[in-house]
Amino acid sequence: MRDATRQTVVWEALRAVLAERAAAAGTGSLDIVDAGGGTGGFAVPLAGLGHRVTVVDPSPDALAALERRAAEAGVQVKGLQGDVTDLGELLPPGCADVVLCHCTLEHVDDPAGALAAIGRVLRDDGVISVIAANSVAAALHRALAGRFDEASRVLGEPGGRWGDRDPMPRRFTREELVGLLTAAGFTVGDVHGVRIFTDIVPSMLAESDPGALIALERAAASHPVFRDIATQLHVIGRKRRPAGD
């Protein structure tokens, strides 16, 4: 139940964007690329909604699990092995209406290069959905765990890491994420906080009234204070048309 609560805000924002993009394109079926989509947590449900979905992921094991998951759901999802920065070699330019980049920028060597590669496969006015780890939240969580030195380190270290044993290679602030997208040629729209309260409320309390917790997450997702302390940031951007078009 907690996993469903964590994803509710993302899915609501994503469905709204897909509906808007489909209406603008005059079609009910979109071409979607899930960059780093792994085992298909987003890809398979999107294919179930009738969209044409391609997952690009470096792990052959994840792609095999994706194939099994899609078969069990009775949908077709194309899997391609490669990194986000390989998109231009794996897919033709301007082939996608929407690209998902969820929990991926933290792990690539060159986030700016990854976003540039995504921009090349998107059609003009195409949409990018980015979910990335928030460094401000990491500082809060380390402090709540009594790790005050590590919390300070998160706030002072480039990349928002709390030490050598930190399993997350990189985190972003909202300003950093928006800046990366803007520099890569995207117009940034909505920014939502994901997992604001869900990751700090004790499990017993979270499971006692999940509907109320979802409502609270929904209400806080766009709040200018609560959004910026969320475990993850969800940013929607649109590819800018070249000047003169």
**% of the chain surpassing 90 pLDDT:** 83
Structural domains in the chain, CATH included, are 2-132+173-239 (3.40.50.150), 135-171 (no CATH)
User: What's the CA gap between 155 and 157, in Å, rounded?
Assistant: 6
How wide is the angle at C-alpha 177 spanned by C-alphas 176 and 180, nearest 5°?
Answer: 85
Q: What share of the chain is helix, strand, coil (3-state, %, to 5)?
A: 45, 20, 35
Q: What is the predicted pLDDT for the residue at 202?
A: 87
pLDDT digits (tens, 9 = 90+) for 28-69: 899 999 999 999 999 999 999 999 999 999 999 999 999 999
User: What's the CA gap between 183 and 107, in Å, rounded?
Assistant: 19
Mean pLDDT of 77-103: 96
Structure tokens at 137: 């939240």
Query: Residue 245 above 70 pLDDT?
Result: no
Q: What is the predicted pLDDT for the residue at 36?
A: 96
User: What's the CA gap between 102 and 111, in Å, rounded?
Assistant: 12
Q: What is the predicted pLDDT for the residue at 205?
A: 85
Alpha helices in 26-122 (DSSP H): 43-48, 60-73, 87-90, 111-121
pLDDT digits (tens, 9 = 90+) for 108-164: 999 999 999 999 999 998 999 999 999 999 999 999 999 999 999 999 998 999 999
pTM of the full structure: 0.93
- What does residue 147 show for φ and ψ, rounded to 5 degrees? -95, 70
Mean pLDDT of 4-9: 74
